[in-house]
């Protein structure tokens, strides 16, 4: 699959077929993840791939809880009643996914001294995000769907207990992995012309070069 096909074709998938995803495919996704650019080659990531049905059931119960909190309390445009139930149910359908990945940030080395050390954590977050993007595009190339979920990090302690994640590892994101059972339309995005500046902020990057 062409890289642009993967980028433009990727969607957040919430409904999955029951077909299993083999370990050899999960390893390919992990290999794509670990080739991501990262600050100082610190490689501050670990990935927990979950395929046990009982663990997936427990994980999805947590997902329902955090998304109920996210849509019902955290957002300024919070929901209630049937509207909230409907949205949370859409995440509950992820329980049908045959696999999940939990992306964690863990410092393997700290290269900066004080007072610059805080940047280590900031750049580590960027690095794990880049690895997740690689993983999700690789999944797309394999015909698989994913859905980036950041809110489960609110339940980091519960995730640590359930998956024996060490205290020095911070949960960054969770995603189901499986063969899509839906074909969502692309969601609205700002155009490239709106966000691409040229040389200075506010000067637009024209598609066609001008002479002179």
Q: Considering only 84-88, 112-116, 187-191, which range has the smallest mean pLDDT?
A: 112-116
Residue 212 has pLDDT above 80, yes or no: no
pLDDT tens-digit map of 140-152:
999 999 999 999 9
| Averaged pLDDT for residues 60-87 | 93
Predicted pLDDT at 33: 98
Predicted pLDDT at 113: 80
Q: What is the dihedral of CA 100, 34, 149, 39, to 10 degrees?
A: 160
Q: Binning pLDDT at 50, 70 and 90, where does residue 101 land?
A: very high
Predicted pLDDT at 35: 98
| Averaged pLDDT for residues 92-106 | 95
Residue 211 has pLDDT above 80, yes or no: no
Mean pLDDT of the chain: 93
In 3D space, the residue among 170, 180, 178 whose CA is nearest the CA of residue 48 turns out to be 170
CA distances from 60 to 64, 92, 98, 145 (A): 6, 7, 12, 17
Domain locations in the chain as residue ranges? 20-115+138-180
The top-scoring range by mean pLDDT among 19-28, 62-71, 75-84 is 19-28
Residue 205 has pLDDT above 90, yes or no: no
The residue that leads in pLDDT, 111 or 130, is 130
- Provide CATH code, domain 20-115+138-180: 3.40.109.10
CA distances from 207 to 135, 192, 200, 210, 212 (A): 30, 10, 16, 10, 16
Predicted pLDDT at 207: 61
The residue that leads in pLDDT, 117 or 92, is 92
| Averaged pLDDT for residues 34-60 | 96
Residue 210 has pLDDT above 80, yes or no: no
Predicted pLDDT at 209: 64
The residue that leads in pLDDT, 190 or 90, is 190
In 3D space, the residue among 70, 69, 133, 55 whose CA is nearest the CA of residue 100 turns out to be 55
């Amino acid at each position: 699959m062409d890289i642009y096909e993967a980028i433009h074709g990727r969607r957040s998938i919430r409904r999955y077929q029951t077909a299993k995803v083999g370990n050899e495919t999960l390893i390919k996704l992990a290999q794509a993840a670990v080739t991501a650019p990262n600050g100082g080659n610190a490689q501050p990531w670990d990935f927990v791939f979950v395929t046990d049905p009982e663990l997936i059931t427990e994980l999805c119960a947590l997902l329902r809880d955090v998304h109920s909190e996210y849509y019902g309390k955290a957002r300024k445009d919070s929901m209630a009643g049937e509207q909230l139930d409907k949205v949370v149910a859409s995440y509950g359908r992820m329980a049908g996914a045959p696999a999940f990945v939990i992306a964690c940030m863990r410092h393997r080395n700290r290269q900066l001294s004080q007072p610059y050390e805080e940047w280590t954590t900031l750049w580590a977050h960027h690095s794990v995000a880049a690895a997740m993007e690689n993983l999700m595009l690789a999944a797309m190339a394999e015909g698989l769907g994913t859905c980036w979920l950041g809110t489960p990090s609110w339940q980091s302690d519960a995730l640590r207990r359930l998956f024996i994640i060490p205290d020095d590892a911070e949960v960054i994101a969770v995603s189901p992995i499986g063969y899509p059972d839906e074909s969502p339309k692309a969601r609205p995005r700002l155009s490239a012309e709106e966000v691409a500046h040229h040389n200075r902020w506010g000067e637009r990057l024209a598609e066609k070069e001008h002479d002179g």
